[in-house]
Amino acid sequence: MLNIGDLAPEFELLDSESVQVKLSDFLGQKIVVFFYPAADTDGCTRQACGFRDNFAEIREVDGTVVGISPDQPADLAKWKKKRNLPFTLLSDPDHEVAERYGVWGEKTNFGRTYMGIIRSHFIIDPEGKLADIQFKVSPENSVKRAMNSLTE
């Protein structure tokens, strides 16, 4: 279980252009890392577009956004282009990073139980420490809570 003040677990994943990206590439700025179940689905699109619509304000506080899902890079690239998402999207098909962050777990939908991404976000400070943790957050609340945390 991760706690505020812990060092954020390092990761290295392929982005939407199949380029290796590491968490440490973003150190020195505030980072919103959000985990979402699947690109181009209703809730995930609302969450991503919320971060897109607030991206200028995030940049003003020396921040950036990184989205992580099990989707393949090609699917991320299509969604990024379709929705004009200005931030990094990363592919975690084996959910290794999701497991390190504690967001891979049991979910229930229409009476069916399965394993998947639990929508969550983390704010990482410029030194790489967790400044805010939000588990099981709605798409809209994820954006609102992240913005509040970033601008405090």
Catalytically active residues are: 44
Rg (CA), the chain: 14
- Which positions ≥6 away from 144 have C-beta within 8 Å? none
DSSP the chain: ---TTSBPPP-EEEETTS-EEEGGGGTTSEEEEEE-S-TTSHHHHHHHHHHHHTHHHHHHTTEEEEEEES--HHHHHHHHHHHT--SEEEE-TT-HHHHHTT-EEEEEETTEEEEEE--EEEEE-TTSBEEEEE-S--HHHHHHHHHHHHH-
